[in-house]
Structure 1
Amino acid sequence: MPFINPEDGHLTVLNLFKTDTRARVDTLVKEMKAIVDTAAFPGWISSTVHRGEQTPGTANFIQWRGMQDLESRYNDSEFKHHTVPVFREITSFVRLMQTEVELSQRHPALGDVTEVSPDRDDYTVIEVLGVDPAEQGALVATLGTAHSWLVDVPGYRSQSVLRGIRSRNLEGGAGTLATVGTDNDFVVVYSQWDGKESYDTFRTLAEAEWPAARRGFHDKRNSLTTSTDWNGYRAVHTRSASQPVAV
């Protein structure tokens, strides 16, 4: 199963898709599973498909050996002439984000590594924070401090912070990709909880009831971010390069 570990040095790609109906989410998941189950791309390590629960959409958490391997995939004829048109048709929003893992922290009861797997019952939250590239390092450092008080929040399991490198979408024309924003203008937070109820309780807690550490963290985070976007997910399918192709 895939693990989130900054020491691995993988290029981590998070592909976020939004659509307008739950039925189209079913189609998205089906198409993504088909790609994952036949993946044999040079440098591809793993893919884990997540189904959106808060709003209709999907996320694919993909690990690559490096940037060159990913670019080879994007330049592949099948990607340009089949994959891109299919996802253009069934989505209302696409963001393909190249990142690297800066840190991954877990509740002390959960061991030494963050696992991404549909065999677990995690409620996963993926949050994308916009940031001025000059402030990206400061935002990453600030996010890392949240673990110190999150460990006391009921239901918290893990938090991983990924430094954004580059974003793209499917609007490049002729099966090519278009750049979104500028390099290093976002940070991704991938967190795991024991259930949607625990996360909703945490997120909707009245600010007057926050501990001082949380209040200070949010003031600092908000001073650094230019935008926020999030969704809740369940991992529904995964495969790694060492696993056999599904039949």
Structure 2
Amino acid sequence: MVATRGIDLEIARGEFITIVGPSGCGKSTLLNATAGIFAPTEGRVLYGGVPVAGYNQRVGYMTQSDHLLPWRKVDANIALPLEIQRRPKAEIARRVEELIELVGLTGFGNSYVSQLSGGMRKRCALARLLAYDPDTLLMDEPFGALDAQLRLAMQVQLRNLCTRLNKTVLFVTHDIDEAVALGDRCVVLTGRPGMVREIVTIDLPRDRNLYRLRSNRQYIAATDHLWSLLAPDAAREEGEETP
């Protein structure tokens, strides 16, 4: 099966790129190829100008499931990537303490993940993602299972952290509002095989207030435009005429 075709995309350091498109159009495939989980059958993926060959050690990957280990406490879950890298114990302890404070989990380091709320579990997963300080964060619908309030809180925290730490982000979502709220640019893919229909520049300041966007004219215009781009594929999936 051909998942994507003719993708030509260049991303600058520190950009927050959101990716939207119909189900099965290759959004996750793009992240997997960037992570080096598998190589493309045609073309190539370059990272920092160098072809990705094998697992890309400079990226971190977060999926919709947090994949936290239930038999480990919060601090031990966050420490896992550093343990795999065989970092010194004192260094791991310092780094974990920093991350717990950074993501707002102070006081919960000794808790099991079963004792955490949904939002706190996501914060723990985010801290683990940041543990070994990857340059780029690959995020595949990480907040899809959260309710609206928790999702907004996590969006705000993620955006602030990535700006503060100068992280590059590729963020897959089915939520058009989320794509506009978070992205500097949004890549809109067609139905399978996924091709770039348009790359939309989000005309919002980098220090945008996500709590006040819903009445912002640029935000409303961007979401309307993305919906218009996705409408033909959505209608085709339902067997209806394009709205």
- Of Structure 1 and Structure 2, the greater strand share is in 1
- Of Structure 1 and Structure 2, the greater helix share is in 2
TM-score, length-normalised on structure 1? 0.26
TM-score, length-normalised on structure 2? 0.26
